[in-house]
Amino acid sequence: MSRQSRQWTMLTLCLGLFACLYLAITSLPTHHASRHHQQLPKLTPHEWIHQHSHLPPPSSSNNRRRRRRPRAALISLVRSSELPGILQSMSQLEYHFNRHHHYPWHFFSETAFTPAFINATSSATRAPTSYHLIPHAHWSIPDFISRDRFIQSLDYVGALGVGKGHMVSYRHMCRWNSRFFYQHPALRDYDYYWRVEPDVHFFCSIPYDPFALFAEFGFVYGFNMAILDDARSFPSLWPATRDFIAKNPQLLHPEADPSWLFDLDAVGGGGGGIDSVYNNCQFFSNFELGDLNFFRGNHSSANMNAAHDLYVRHLDRLGGFFYERFGDAPIHTLSVSLFAPRDRHPQFCACEPTPLDENFYKLVPMQSPQRKPADTCLRMWLDGSRWFGGGGGSKGTGWLEKKPGWARDVELAWGGDGYGGYVRQGV
């Protein structure tokens, strides 16, 4: 099954969720309504994590009665040939997290799993395991797609050197992860998912339940990396998105702020509104946690109903998964940033401090003529001054700190990449 670069997969998932989510959400507002209680939480996310971090977690019957277990699953789109890789991922995630919680594993593929795959993966966990075929209609070229134009696009995008651009299976994978995974009957009874890819590593213990955190504070999406993608793979994605918003302005969430995705310095930058130029930043979706009801369109919040599903259907009908190489990562990024409140998608970062967003543009080949943003994708997402409003006195300035005396033009003149001027406080 076609995947993003394994190098980036490894970097994405070498994490321990306790340390990183602490850093990412300590500055979040505390006005979230709990999904189950429909009342203001008594704790901030920061306080909640500290109070609910235990190794091993409490397992008494009193504790189970006190807190409702989230309806959540670990899901993986994988082929039988990737057995060694998925066993690697399972072994570490089970050891560091799921052996205490026993969330079920659901494996999906367009081809039947071999007995060897089923036996090995079911033996790798004490949690329930299930194996599912993807419907043919969800992994085939739809009737509204011109086969001739599709073949031409494969040749053209492949000749450009766009990663995975020539691979049919990669198009199907991106389409399924964008539109169909949340529709699969196997996930009907779940509210949350954790996407697990083959060949990833979890090095640190996870002493709390991220699913319970999501349920308590109404989070809809969690990510690890924000990186730059090759703009040549989806040239019509942003115009198609703007067209969808123009036709459905009521779906744009009043508390959303996609400004971190805009290149305000580009020609025709648009001034920060929906007419701005997309900077091609994305949440790297090889690691993600999400609220299935947000994607399905039946979220408990009326302001988030139906938006994602209507949006991705619009993109699908335009043929971008086949005539171009629309990816699930930029689609999830745009959807969450446009149709959900800004404070509902926290970042999960590494258990050990690392350079912030180092080499975030490595997926973009040198031959791509696209503009590079003025700062890294993650730092633009973290820059609270963009979404709390105002300048130096805004609440968000506590997230990033400019290095004394730093100037981007000086760093570039000395051979740097121009992205070393800001650090996240506390790292």
What are the sequence ranges of the domains in the chain? 6-399
Residue 134, pLDDT score: 98
- In this structure, what DSSP letter does residue 165 have? T
Mean pLDDT to the nearest integer, 222-237: 89
Predicted pLDDT of residue 405: 79
Which stretch, 21-35, 39-53, 120-134, 154-168, has highest mean pLDDT? Answer: 120-134
pLDDT of residue 286: 86
Rounded to 10 deg, the angle between the 237-247 and 307-317 helix axes is: 130
Closest CA to 187 of 90, 287, 297, 73: 73
Closest of 238, 244, 243 to residue 327, by C-alpha: 238
Check residues 257 and 185 and name the one with the higher pLDDT.
Answer: 185
Distance between CA 401 and CA 348 in Å, rounded?
20
Side chain identity at residue 217, one-letter code: F
Q: Is residue 86's pLDDT more than 50? A: yes
DSSP assignment of 49-60: HHHT--SSPP--
Under DSSP, the state recorded for 178 is I
402 CB-near residues (< 8 Å, 6+ apart): 421, 422
Query: Is 288 known to be catalytic?
Result: yes
% of the chain residues with pLDDT over 70: 70
Query: Do the beta carbons of residue 232 and residue 370 sit within 8 Å?
Result: yes
Active-site residue (options: 94, 197, 288, 324): 288
For residue range 137-160, list pLDDT tens digits in order: 999 999 999 999 999 999 988 888
Q: Where are the alpha helices (DSSP H) in 248-296?
A: 292-296
Q: Distance between CA 109 and CA 81 in Å, rounded?
A: 11
Confidence band for 229, pLDDT divided at 50, 70 and 90:
confident
Percent over 90 (pLDDT), the chain: 49
Quick one: pLDDT band at residue 26, thresholds 50, 70, 90? very low
Helix then strand then coil, % of the chain, to nearest 5: 45, 10, 45
Encode pLDDT of 402-424 as tens digits: 678 777 777 777 777 666 766 66
CA distance 18 to 97: 11
What are the tens digits of pLDDT across the range 318-352?
Answer: 999 999 999 999 999 999 999 999 989 988 876 65
- Residue burial 139-162, b: 16+ Cβ < 10 Å; e: rest: beeeeebeeeebeebbeebeebeb
Residue 152 phi, psi dihedral angles, 5° rounding: -65, -40
- 3-class SS of residue 237: helix
pLDDT at 61 over 50: no
pLDDT confidence of residue 355: 54
DSSP state of 354: -
Tell me the residue length of the chain: 427
Residue 249: is its pLDDT beyond 80?
Answer: yes
Q: Tokens for 258?
A: 């996609």
* CATH superfamily ID and name for 6-399: Spore Coat Polysaccharide Biosynthesis Protein SpsA; Chain A (3.90.550.10)
